[in-house]
Structure 1
Amino acid sequence: MTENLALGAMLFGTAQDEHRSFEILDRFVDAGGVWIDTANCYAFWADPTGFGGKSEEMIGRWLARRPGVRDRVRISTKVGCEPTEAGRFPETAEGLSAAAVKSGIEDSLRRLGTDHVELCWAHMPDPGTPLEETVGAFGDLVSAGTVGRLGCSNYPVWQVDRARRIARDHGGAGFTAVQQQHTYLQPRPATRPSVSHRFGAVSDEVLHYLEHHPDMELWAYTPLLSGGYTRADKPLPQEYDHPGTVRRLAVLDEIAAETGTNRNRVVLAWLTGGNPAATPIVGVSSVEQLDEAFAGVAMELTGDQRERLDSAV
């Protein structure tokens, strides 16, 4: 069983049809994969209707046609970003009011065809709703048994800590995981990452917080920069255009040559073996890409290799 790798299901039901989605899901489970990550808004930008839900529906159909497989997987979904009007995101995002959280997870469970999910995330901060209301609403999901654990995605560190304190003070369940964009390359200082959320990229402050709160997990989305490490037709985002990237890629290539692998596998090994260790969320379009991801998280770097990777700046 491989618990330190999550399958990203963002494009299931839109860019990836049922045949390809089922093929990837089957291979994931057969290879020992456990976590499937989705969201109620996936993927509204890729669907003609302008609304999400297709990813969860695809997973739900797969679960229904694979008797017994629900007991072998854990589902991670998110609420808060589904637009209430097509073509007007983020200004019409559903948000994280108590009513939105409750209806969001109810709709997710219906699409997934299950009575619970193992992990539910607040997809992005909702400045229009008091944090106390959001925290209480998520805690109610755990109390009701429809959600096992809670996480927050794209949140600033101060808000993560405050939310956890609110939950603790009220005796409710709090966030035990953060999900942000995280990879080996480091963005140029003082640049706004090209991810769509203001606080979406992991910072030193996030890592420092997690190092001192071992009960918190880090999940990393877009860990392979959408093919940017290995594909000439997938240029790196502009925030990585600086001399430090050249030096980091050079060391990455050295380690890949030493291990007989490639950049992607080394990056995944670096993420899963770090402090804090990260769970990469990989979105793949083929079983071959999935097999490579499994090989990457199974790979162990030596102390010397990790030191060389970390010290390249």
Structure 2
Amino acid sequence: MALGTMYFGTQVPRNQAFACLNHAYELGARFWDTANNYAFWANGTGNESEETIGAWLAANGTGMRDEVTLATKIGARPRSLGDGLDASMGLSRRAIRTQVQDSLRRLDVDHVDVLYTHIDDANTALEETLDALSQLVDEGLTRTIASSNLTAARLTEALETPSAHPYTALQQRFSYLEPAPSTDLSPHVLLDDEVSSLCSELNLTRLGYSPLLSGAYTRADRPLPEGYEMGPAASAALTEIGNKYRLDRGQVVLSWMVRRREKLIPVVGVSTPEQVQSAWEAVTTTLNSSDVEWLERARHE
């Protein structure tokens, strides 16, 4: 799994974030996921998550950097504090260079392992964006490039654009339950069947964020987001399979994600070591194939 660190340094105080990272590392998790705008909307500046991870790496000595896979995202940082995503820095050559240099400074590292384009930038030619990203790979500032929140059409266009270093992974919104087709998730883009099929065809690693729908699978005080419904077949499958493996419904979702035929890496946002423990227990629990198939059938009934 990838450890989601969206609210580290804002809603999750630094000492608590350190406890989450320490426990994840102790368990065997090694994939930290952040972005250069986390979490400007939560009374933050957008610096906090990267700075928290940078401080944790520094506190654990120079060797720790090589022990973890470090991913960050660019393109969706507001140009000025107080702006929103409609005034984001985007993915022009100059903006990419500026954002990456700032992220490396906040993370206190000389490279990241995965660099995502966070949201689409229709105002910049894909050739310019991909050429600028490829140059970062050639310079050793990132090991690989990836994308997030792309429609099937834009993903196809990006992968058909000549590039020395094409995208190797795609991170989209994904969970067990699927929203109604008319649901407006913007700026999120769903990992739907069409996009997932493209990932299979083009051998892209899939990652799914918001897998637990902010706790709605397990917490009575967290209703499902607008546009989502839990049908009786899905409810029964999640409950009965959870009872069988001694997992709660949210844990079943995470275990299913990593065991299904079209496997995904769940990006799990955490705020306590207990949540880290729960997620790790889920992704290291092996559901048998018949239970995975049962879950697949039930989610569409």
TM-score range with shorter-chain normalisation? over 0.9
Matches within 5 A, 1:91-110: 91-110=86-105
1:183 matched to which residue of 2? 175
- Structure 2 counterpart of 1:152: 147
Q: Which residue of 2 aligns with 1:192?
A: 184
Tell me which residue corresponds to 1:296.
Answer: 282
Structure 1: distance between partners of 2:20 and 2:237: 32
Question: Are 1:274 and 2:260 an aligned pair?
Answer: yes
- Alpha-carbon contact 2:78-2:84 (below 8 Å) kept: yes
Q: 1:51-130 alignment to 2 at 5 Å?
A: 51-67=45-61, 68-130=63-125
Q: State the partner residue of 1:217.
A: 205
Is 1:23 the counterpart of 2:9? The answer is no
What is the deviation of 1:93? 0.4
Separation of aligned partners in 1, 2:217 and 2:232: 12
Aligned-partner residue type, residue 233 of structure 1: D
Shift of 1:47: 2.5
In structure 1, stretches of 5+ residues that fail to align are none
Instruction: Say which SS state the counterpart of residue 88 (structure 1) adopts.
Output: coil
Query: Of 42, 49, 59, which residue of structure 2 is paired with 1:46?
Result: 42
Code of the residue aligned with 2:19 in structure 1: it is E
Equivalents in 2 of 1:247, 1:202: separation in Å? 22
**Which amino acid counterpart does residue 41 of structure 1 have in structure 2?**
N
Partners of 2:55 and 2:35 lie apart in 1 by: 16
The corresponding residue for 2:127 is: 132
Deviation string, structure 1 residues 141-182 (Cα, Å, up to 9, x no partner): 11111000111100112211221221xx34x10101000111
Other structure's SS at 1:36 match = strand
**How many residues are aligned here?**
298
The ranges of structure 1 where at least 4 consecutive aligned residues each deviate by more than 2 angstroms after the TM superposition are 85-88, 189-193, 244-247
Percent identity between matched residues is 38
- Matching residue's letter, 2:281: A
Partner of 2:227: 239
- Cα pair 1:211 1:275 within 8 Å, conserved: no
For 2:171, what is the secondary structure of its paired residue? strand
Q: What CA distance in whole angstroms lies between the structure 2 residues aligned with 1:120 and 1:26?
A: 23
Amino acid paired to 2:32? I
Partner amino acid, structure 2, of 1:212: E
Alignment partners' CA distance in 2, 1:46 and 1:311: 38
Residue 285 of structure 1 and its aligned partner are, at CA, apart by 1.5
CA distance in 1, matches of 2:88, 2:4: 21
Give the superposed CA RMSD.
Answer: 1.3
* Cα displacement string for residues 218-251 of structure 1 (whole angstroms, at most 9, x for unaligned residues): 111111111010001111012113xx63321221
Q: 8 Å contact 1:265–1:299 — kept in the other structure?
A: no
* SS of 2:295 mapped into structure 1: helix
